[in-house]
């Protein structure tokens, strides 16, 4: 197992110095799932929620969140993002949420992809809670990253 990079020799949290790294293309994809009811999914399909187009709202929320990850996660670097996509796939009683984030920088974008998925799903919870107060977010994780010193990594 690799050592933790955000902890110094004294065990204190610190921001990693990436200034010595060469900029390069880095892409991360994260996914998660909103578990809900068939009624909610049907309302999402037909834009039938009282609050409006939940999927469009959640997409924009995820994109905005990715851009602000460095403000939310204390040790993340502020980086210029070159691409953010947030997509949804409606199941019978769930909504799959997938985000892909890319940059040309010195550090990866896994946290930005995770933030996009999580905030998009959280926005869906907010939009559907009147119909399903038990809706929950599950299975959030990085599914693939490309670039950096590890090259290609994919979840099994």
Based on the residue annotation, tell me whether 126 is a catalytic residue of this protein: yes
Catalytic residue among 22, 53, 126, 132: 126
**83: three-class secondary structure by DSSP:** strand
Residue positions in the annotated binding site for substrate?
Answer: 75-77, 111-112
- The helix/strand count (H/E) of the chain reads as 4, 5
Q: Which residues contact 99 (CB under 8 A, 6 or more apart)?
A: 29, 30, 31, 62, 66, 84, 85, 86, 87, 113, 116, 117, 120
Tell which residue, 112, 106, 108, 104, has the closest CA to residue 86: 112
Tell which residue, 64, 136, 139, has the closest CA to residue 101: 64
CB-neighbour burial class of residue 129 (10 A; exposed 0-12, middle 13-18, buried 19+): middle
List residues with catalytic annotation. 126
């Amino acid at each position: 197992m690799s050592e933790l990079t955000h902890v110094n020799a004294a065990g204190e949290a610190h921001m990693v110095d990436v200034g010595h790294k060469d900029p390069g293309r880095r892409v991360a994809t994260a996914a998660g799932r909103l578990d809900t009811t068939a009624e909610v999914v049907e309302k999402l399909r037909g834009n039938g929620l009282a609050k409006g187009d939940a999927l469009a709202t959640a997409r924009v929320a995820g994109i905005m969140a990715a851009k602000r990850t460095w403000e939310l996660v204390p040790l993340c670097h502020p980086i210029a993002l070159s691409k953010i996509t947030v997509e949804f796939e409606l199941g019978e009683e769930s909504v799959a949420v997938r985000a892909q984030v890319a940059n040309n920088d010195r550090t990866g974008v896994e946290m930005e992809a995770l933030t996009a998925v999580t905030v998009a799903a959280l926005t869906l919870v907010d939009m559907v809670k009147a119909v399903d107060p038990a809706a929950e977010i599950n299975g959030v994780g990085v599914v693939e990253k490309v670039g950096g010193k590890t090259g290609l990594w994919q979840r099994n």
